[in-house]
A and B are shown apart, each in its own frame.
Chain A
Amino acid sequence: MKNRHLAGLIGVLIVLGLTVFAYRWWYLQVPLLPGQTQDSWTVEANLQFNATTNPVSAQFYIPRNPPNYSLLDEQFISRGYGVTTALENSNQLATWSIRRARGQQSIYYRAIFYRNALNQPLMGLKIPSVTPAQFSDAQMPALEAIIAQTRSRSSNVRTFVTEALKLLNDPTDDNAKLLLKRDTSADNIAKTAINVLSHANIPAVLTYSIPLQTQKSATFIPGLFIHNGQEWIYYDPLTGQTGLPHHLLVWYYGDNIASAINQGGTQMQFSIAVTTAPINALELVEQRGIEMQSTLMQFSLFNLPLRTQQIYLILLTVPIGAFVILLLRNFIGLTTFGTFMPVLIALAFRETQLLAGIFLFSLITAIGLAVRFYLDKLKLLLMPRLTAILIIVIIIMLAISMLSFQLNLEKGLSIALFPMVILTMVIERMCIVWDERGAGESILSGVGSLIAASIAYLVMKNAYIEYLFFAFPELLLVLLGIIFWSGQYRGYRLTELYRFKSFLKRDSG
């Protein structure tokens, strides 16, 4: 009964921890590794024109909720223009206006996009009402022939569109030639396809995308979004392939031109430049949390002030260190001074590094022990004796710091970070054990503590583990579950094999 209770608790902790972990890793895409970067695309739309009369007003579309990409940052750059953005049909239209302007004008829109792996459904594109397009009398038989042929070869909207595009792209098909009027550009095929589909009562929207690859001037690539009653499906008008290619950033919908001068300008030139740069994946994560309004992300440690973050970066490694000590003590059977003393020594090792840390620790303990044995002769009471050892430990630390500074040994300075109260207690405990159980046992425990501290240090300073627990503090729940589980371990410790070796058979020992 009790065991089932504990097993349930362990299960809940581990499942909860892993669920939150999975959500943040997989859905919010918190990177698993520190310093992981992701490509981001800086897209710069530039509208140039010559201002002739006042006032001046110009406009162009800017991307709005493009599928597969998320906006990290956007800026509107111009000299003295006022900017407004407004929703026009399914598009975002930015309008620049200024009362007085003369000569060459240049206005910029710069946005940083990054790829999200969510494959979210197309958002914000309204389904247009379908009205049959006008065709000339000469074209009508061709249209009807194409629709009849397409219908016979297809079973649903998806295949209907594929077949229609296949026909329109067939250079030998006379009906297609008639409808296209010899213009076989992707743009024209797409527009014609929309008109053809309107007669089959299929809603279709023309869309213009830019390919995200480093370039000075991107050209718009036309595409079709077809609604099959449930969802939007992207079609490449030339190949008939479905699915929006991953490198395409949808810029706007509809058959308008992307930019326009409303008044006061001539010689308009519109260009879009694309550059790529790696950005820290963590920045993306933060942005993402805000964007998705995820409460889980708001509770991320990354939102804390930087100083506090740095403290937690270290503090969160303490449970790992404690877990390592647990393993060493309960499963291996290592004896140490104090339960968690090695964790604190390991924290000090962070600053001194391992070898210097072990050397300094041994040095202080050795000198401290010598002093402690001398103090024994003075017959002091416990508290005064402990205080005296504490002061002597600090004096030793001071001396080592000053000496190493004179010798230009940087490492020696970091000794100041050793937990001196802990050192004092270690020295006192070592001395008592020395007196009562002999030097051997005392040194054994001392070395055991040092080994435990070193192992804990090696695990705790591991950049991956440090980052992992900082980015995913919910892993502490998993750790807690594992610790609850290990609390049930009733098996032998490794060192008990040695202790009870007389019970082992000679031949296999």
Chain B
Amino acid sequence: MRSLFRQLRQAGILGINRRNGDYILRYNQRRHYPLVDNKLATKRLATQHNIATPSLYAEIRSEHDILKLPELLSQYSAFALKPAHGVGGDGIVVITGKMHDFWRKANGSLLTMTELAYHTSNILSGMHSLGGQPDHAMIEYCVDIEPVFADISYYGVPDIRIIVLLGYPAMAMVRLPTRMSDGKANLHQGAIGAGVDLTSGTTLGGVWHNDTIDQHPDTFNHISGITITQWDDILTTAAYCYDITGLGYLGVDIVLDRHYGPLMLELNARPGLNIQLANRTGLHKRLTAIERHVAQLGGDSEPVATRVAFSKNPAFASAV
């Protein structure tokens, strides 16, 4: 048993206890949490700092607002309905089209207006929010999938998750929706995670339910070797999110839109550990390398471009 633990340690795997104790507790101050736990606040903050996000169509703050829902939605045919305090992608409904009185979900199934209103009401009552407190619902632009990813995702928008420590991108992966994940990009819901080479922005192999996978289970296209466009912009956005939130250990979710390029979707102060499986490498050794680098700077902070360059440097991205 001890030798098994030692193997994990040697692989530089970050466990939950260490993530919570040495990274989240140390680098993320509680008072900064509301900025990322509330997607509306995150969006507001990002807009202030010229970080592109999907545009907000409407906020639903009360049961009374739900009555206006049909009118609000009449002008849109595609949108995403989300709880402002949602956890792990729960409660998100992506509508990609309208059919008579029905809304078509990303997976192709149809919803009536009543069902949509009921779901919104559930969001408001806090069913999907952290700790169950009353919540707001938000309706925003539904991301139009970038062609690069079209072949390797199934009804849904892949997103790019980047772990950022103290403003330095540490690890990245693409999360590809599958039929099983219901168009959602969360690994525990059945999405595929594919590691991304920080230097080039090229996808590595994927992982699906803890198993390594090289082909998308629904489209049969190869997952690896796909180069993500505008990779530098994506890394820069991710690195910059540290400066605007003050959260030292941060998960940045970015989507690539066909028209608008990289859009910052949400931030996460407690990013999960599956990214290690997707990259088939441990996160801990990269985090310690960044901490060592920051310690060498001794109090000075580097500009975003330098930090991105540090992470892109093969000495960091491949060797560690």
Q: Which residues of A contact B (CB under 8 A)?
A: 330, 333, 379, 381-383, 432, 436-438, 441, 487-493, 496-497, 499-505, 508-509
Contacts and interface: CB of A to CB of B under 8 A. Distances in A.
B interface secondary structure, majority: helix
Contact of B122 (A382, A437, A487, A490): A382
A442 to B, nearest CB: 12
Interface string B89-121: 011000000000000000000000010001001
A438 B189 CA distance: 8
B15 A437 contact: no
A491 B5 contact: yes
Contact of A492 (B13, B63, B91, B128): B13
Contacts of B193: none
A-B pairs, 9 with minimum CB distance: A382-B125, A490-B18, A492-B15, A503-B11, A379-B118, A490-B21, A436-B90, A496-B15, A500-B13
A491 B118 CA distance: 44
A488 B21 contact: yes
Given A502-B277, A503-B276, 10 more contacts: A330-B17, A382-B122, A382-B127, A432-B90, A437-B188, A490-B21, A493-B15, A499-B273, A500-B13, A502-B210
Contact of A379 (B15, B114, B126): B114
B205 to A, nearest CB: 11
Contacts of B15: 490-493, 496
21 contacts: A379-B118, A379-B121, A382-B127, A432-B127, A438-B189, A490-B15, A491-B5, A492-B8, A492-B9, A492-B17, A493-B15, A493-B16, A496-B8, A496-B13, A496-B15, A497-B4, A499-B277, A500-B13, A502-B212, A504-B8, A508-B3
B282 interface: yes
B151 interface: no
Contacts of B318: none
Contacts of A383: 125
Residue of A382, A438, A508 with most chain B CB atoms under a 10 A cut-off:
A382
Nearest to A500: B13
A504 B125 CA distance: 44
Contact of A509 (B4, B11, B13, B122): B4
Contacts of B22: 490
Contact of A382 (B126, B207, B210): B126
B17 A493 contact: yes
B7 interface: yes
A86 B150 CA distance: 105
A488 B273 CA distance: 19
A501 B63 CA distance: 47
Residue of B8, B189, B280, B282 with most chain A CB atoms under a 10 A cut-off:
B8
Contacts of B18: 490-491
B7 to A, nearest CB: 5
A490 B19 CA distance: 8
Contacts of B207: 502
A337 B232 CA distance: 41
A499 B210 contact: yes
A503 B13 contact: yes
A502 B17 contact: no
B17 A490 contact: yes
A508 to B, nearest CB: 6
B249 to A, nearest CB: 14
A505 B212 CA distance: 15
Nearest to A504: B7
A479 to B, nearest CB: 20
Nearest to A441: B188
Nearest to B12: A503
B17 A489 contact: yes
Contacts of B188: 437, 441
Contacts of A330: 17
A180 B118 CA distance: 111
A320 to B, nearest CB: 22
A503 B14 CA distance: 12
Contact of B282 (A381, A487, A491, A503): A503
